[in-house]
């Protein structure tokens, strides 16, 4: 697996006024390279159809499509991979179902949980929640910036190079500080989807990431 992990991952959400497929279309048009379908409310068959429709759109734009939770939907829709939560299918089973080329991400909430994936064939780990968010029910303890810094420090000390994606209530004002502490990227949902102009907000997130990378190149040529 040689595909790079995007610095900005966009997660769709269940919004009656802004259906998942329209969120995917918006994200692709805005230039977001990585989209995760996070569907909790629709029944299984509807989720599968949404994923099939989303795959057609992401194919047109050359975007990565990840399905949250549902390995069989990811397989049947031809998605690039799956993101697995704590109570979802084990990554080894998902790997057998999806094959060697699939992208598999996992959710983690502590160094101990992250370290359990040291020898796993997964491509990245989400780490959070960064702050309180209504997007997720049964929220784990908020890590905040200091908690994420502690996990990254332990990760570096143990020479564990799995990419970390910060998640949970991330806003535009958080982009620079999170990237500065050493996460590989950020996952954003409601800050984009619930904004008054989702496409414009998505592009501002991308702009903030570009600014960070340009400044880093200047400091570390």
pLDDT in tens, the chain (221 residues): 447 899 999 999 999 999 999 999 999 999 999 999 999 999 999 999 999 999 999 999 999 999 999 999 999 999 999 999 999 999 999 999 999 999 999 999 999 999 999 999 999 999 999 998 766 666 678 999 999 999 999 999 999 999 999 999 999 999 999 999 999 999 999 999 999 999 999 999 999 999 999 988 776 65
CA dihedral over 63, 66, 71, 72, signed as positive or negative: negative
**The pLDDT value given to residue 1:** 43
**DSSP letter assigned to residue 38:** -
**Which residues touch 189 (CB under 8 Å, ≥6 apart)?**
10, 11, 12, 13, 38, 133, 135
Q: Residue 131: how many CB atoms within 10 A of its CB?
A: 15
Comparing CA positions, the residue from 53, 22, 54, 19 lying closest to residue 36 is 54
Comparing CA positions, the residue from 4, 7, 23, 5 lying closest to residue 135 is 23
Distance CA 53, CA 68 (A): 16
Distance CA 205, CA 192 (A): 9
Which domains does the chain carry?
A: 8-219 (3.20.20.70)
């Amino acid at each position: 697996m040689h595909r790079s992990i995007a610095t900005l991952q966009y997660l769709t959400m269940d919004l009656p006024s802004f259906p998942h497929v329209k969120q995917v279309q918006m994200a692709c048009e805005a230039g977001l390279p990585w989209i995760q379908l996070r569907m909790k409310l629709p029944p299984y068959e509807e989720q599968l159809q949404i994923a099939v429709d989303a795959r057609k759109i992401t194919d047109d734009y050359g975007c990565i499509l990840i399905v949250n939770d549902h390995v069989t939907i990811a397989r049947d829709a031809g998605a690039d991979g799956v993101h697995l939560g704590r109570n979802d299918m084990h990554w080894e089973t998902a790997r057998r179902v999806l094959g060697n080329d699939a992208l598999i991400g996992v959710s983690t909430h502590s160094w101990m949980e992250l370290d359990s994936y040291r020898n796993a064939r997964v491509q990245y780990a989400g780490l959070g929640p960064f702050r309180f968010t209504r997007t997720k029910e049964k929220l784990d303890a908020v890590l905040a910036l200091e908690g994420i810094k502690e996990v990254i420090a332990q990760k570096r000390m143990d020479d564990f190079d799995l990419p970390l994606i910060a998640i949970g209530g991330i806003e535009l004002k958080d982009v620079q500080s999170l990237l500065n502490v050493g996460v590989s990227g950020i996952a954003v949902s409601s800050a984009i989807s619930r904004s008054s102009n989702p496409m414009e907000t998505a592009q501002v997130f991308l702009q903030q990431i570009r600014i960070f990378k340009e400044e880093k190149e200047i400091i570390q040529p």
